[in-house]
Amino acid sequence: MRVSVDLDTCDGNGVCMSLCHEVFDVREDGLHLLQEQPRSELRGPLKAAEVSCPTGAIVVED
Amino acid sequence: MATDRQLEQVVVVGAGVAGMRAAETLRQNGYDGALTMVGAERYAPYHRPPLSKKLLSGQVHRAGIDMAPQFDIDARVLRGATAVGLDISARTVRVRDDDQDVSLSFDGLVVASGAQPREWPGGPAPGGVLLLRTVEDCLAIRERLGSHPRVVVVGGGFIGAEVAATCRVMGLDVTLIEQATGPLVQALGDELAPCWANLHREHGVDLRLGVGVDTFVGNGQVEGVRLTDGSQLPADVVVVGLGVTPATDWLADTGLRIDGGVVCDATGTAEGSTGDATVVAAGDVARWWHPLYEQHLRIEHWDHAARQGAAAARTLLAGKDRAEPYNQLPYFWSDQYDLKIQMLGSTTDYDAFRVIEGDPRGWEFIAAYGRDGRTIAVVGTIPNRVHAYRDAISGSAEFPPKPPD
């Protein structure tokens, strides 16, 4: 799986981090993608982060 | 996870984020039976947080808030349809859809009907006195903001405070009326009230504290607001933000326990849900038992509704005996001017408060809330710093918590 984040759109609200902290880390300086190609077991939380991001900044590709 | 039991007909009442996440989670976990979603609004699901922020100001467009479907959930979706009744023993939900009553059978029901904004309690109000809950509400307010009106916001909760901030950033004259000692008191307590009051005043909001609205002045269209202290303000647009009430009218006398929301156990199973059919609830409408806080909490935040919707779906699939309790920490944010206020945990019944990093006077700080000597919540304006306290709150660390490295 491949994850990308549009950092221009990201508001740093941290919803993704609460859904999938294995991949998303939101710090003082903004969002950090901890893994760009996470293992497929994380598909559920990743898809949740994608749909729940209030600015639609996350794209998850299978 | 495969489905542990044979569900064949699931109905989800509510197409907000809790309902959507519940439906998606059912499909993601292998549920392949019938799925019906009942949404009161006419629109496809959208993100609600921008309604008091960037959609209101026009920084994002209407299309920018749609919740992009991640996959086809293969559901029958009724829009503009309202659940009006529930019969648990017959396992049917009655739905009003375009003046027709339809009966939907279920063996699993997700109650995610959300909440409705409190109307102005003083009876009919003149035009231009508006509520904000839906995208239509937002666009109606936004349209009026174009003529550079004088704005009065009634209620200093999150919606009121965010609307006031958004309107000020747009350069409008804004008065914010709050009966308590400051904005956000209900959620964040008296201690920080002066901080939020200063924030709005420094940005040019005419903040009136300790007063309420006596009446709206105007024939047809609002022209002013008379306050309980006898003063009168001119107004062209009034936004009323007096909080919400859970949308439970349709659940009265159904056997479900309704007490400030649909009362649920820690798995999201509704109390009073009997027989073969399982009823779960999630989002603004639900009051789940929270194992960490040891009380029922109803939480009106986006992130919580999304995660609870997913948890409720997992409970439905597992069955109530095998369902797992949900003990995640509530999290929310609020954007006001250049600040992002974030909170992790719940301040309910806190008995101790302390600023543990920075200084509220400089708008860069972290503060902790405690109860019985334990840390229960952390609020802050240093971007994303509250997340560093997750372990302290989950582990009920001694209050005040030590700032992590």
Verify that B32 and B134 share a domain, yes or no. Answer: no
| pLDDT, position B287 | 98
Q: Which of A15, A19, A51 sits opposite B70 (nearest CB)?
A: A51
Residues B22/B28/B31/B35 CA torsion (nearest 10 deg): 50
Q: What ipTM was estimated for this complex?
A: 0.72
Summarize the confidence of residues B107-115 as an average pLDDT: 97
Q: How many Cβ atoms from other residues are within 10 Å of residue B204's Cβ?
A: 13
Verify that B81 and B32 share a domain, yes or no. Answer: yes
pLDDT exceeds cutoff 80 at B379: yes
Verify that B302 and B367 share a domain, yes or no. Answer: no
Interchain CB distance below 8 Å, B333 and A19: no
Verify that B351 and B314 share a domain, yes or no. Answer: no
Q: Which of B27, B59, B384 to mutate to test the interface with A (most CBs of A within 10 A)?
A: B384
The 10s digit of each residue's pLDDT in B310-324 is 999 999 999 878 999
Q: Which of A24, A52, A58, A59 to mutate to test the interface with B (most CBs of B within 10 A)?
A: A52
Summarize the confidence of residues B28-42 as an average pLDDT: 94
**What's the first-to-final CA gap in chain B, in angstroms?**
37
| pLDDT, position B71 | 67
| pLDDT, position B3 | 45
Q: Which class for B245: exposed (0-12), middle (13-18), buried (19 or more C-beta within 10 A)?
A: middle
Verify that B236 and B251 share a domain, yes or no. Answer: no
Under a CB-based contact definition with an 8 Å cutoff, are residues B248 and B113 in contact? yes
Q: What is the SS3 assignment for B364?
A: strand
Q: Which residues of chain B are within 8 Å of residue A17 when distances are taken between CB atoms? A: 384, 387
Q: Which residues contact A8 (CB under 8 A, 6 or more apart)?
A: none
Q: Which of B67, B303, B342 sits opposite A51 (nearest CB)?
A: B67
| pLDDT, position B5 | 63
Tell me chain B's radius of gyration from C-alpha atoms: 22
Summarize the confidence of residues B345-353 as an average pLDDT: 97
Between residues A16 and B169, the one the model is more confident about = B169
The domain of B37 spans 9-116+245-318
Sign of CA dihedral B91, B97, B102, B104: negative
Which residue of chain A is at minimal alpha-carbon distance from B24? A48
| pLDDT, position B64 | 85
* Residue B325 falls inside a structural domain: no
| pLDDT, position B2 | 43
Mean pLDDT estimate for chain A:
87
* Residue B196 falls inside a structural domain: yes
Sorted by where each starts, the structural domains of chain A and their CATH numbers stand as 2-61 (3.30.70.20)
* Residue B328 falls inside a structural domain: no
Verify that B37 and B82 share a domain, yes or no. Answer: yes
pLDDT exceeds cutoff 90 at B343: yes
CA B320 to chain CA centroid, nearest Å? 26
| pLDDT, position B402 | 96
Rounded to whole angstroms, the Cα distance separating A32 from A37 reads 14
Verify that B19 and B60 share a domain, yes or no. Answer: yes
Verify that B272 and B283 share a domain, yes or no. Answer: yes
Verify that B213 and B354 share a domain, yes or no. Answer: no
What is the value of pTM for the model shown? 0.92
* Residue B184 falls inside a structural domain: yes
Between residues B93 and B123, the one the model is more confident about = B93
The 10s digit of each residue's pLDDT in B248-257 is 999 999 999 9
Interchain CB distance below 8 Å, A11 and B335: yes
Q: Which of B318, B352, B379 is the last residue of a domain?
A: B318
* Residue B330 falls inside a structural domain: no
Verify that B110 and B140 share a domain, yes or no. Answer: no
* Residue B58 falls inside a structural domain: yes
| pLDDT, position B1 | 45
Residue B390 sits in a domain of what CATH number? 3.30.390.30
Under a CB-based contact definition with an 8 Å cutoff, are residues B72 and B110 in contact? no
Q: How confident is the model at residue B405 (pLDDT cuts 50, 70, 90)?
A: confident
Verify that B250 and B231 share a domain, yes or no. Answer: no
Q: How confident is the model at residue B72 (pLDDT cuts 50, 70, 90)?
A: confident
Q: Which long-range contacts (CB under 8 A, 24 or more apart) does B101-106 make?
A: B102/B78, B104/B11, B104/B36, B104/B38, B105/B9, B106/B9, B106/B10, B106/B11, B106/B36, B106/B277
Sign of CA dihedral B320, B323, B327, B331: negative
Residue B17 sits in a domain of what CATH number? 3.50.50.60
How many domains are there within chain B?
3
| pLDDT, position B50 | 92
Q: Which of B286, B318, B350 is the last residue of a domain?
A: B318
Interchain CB distance below 8 Å, A52 and B28: no
* Residue B400 falls inside a structural domain: no
- Both tokens of residue B359? 């200084």
Q: Which residues of chain B are within 8 Å of residue A27 when distances are taken between CB atoms? A: 383-384
Verify that B112 and B250 share a domain, yes or no. Answer: yes
E strands, B133-185, are 151-154, 174-178
* Residue B45 falls inside a structural domain: yes
Q: Which of B224, B242, B260 is the last residue of a domain?
A: B242
Summarize the confidence of residues B354-370 as an average pLDDT: 95
Residue A12 region, left (φ>0) first, then alpha (ψ -120 to 50), else beta? left
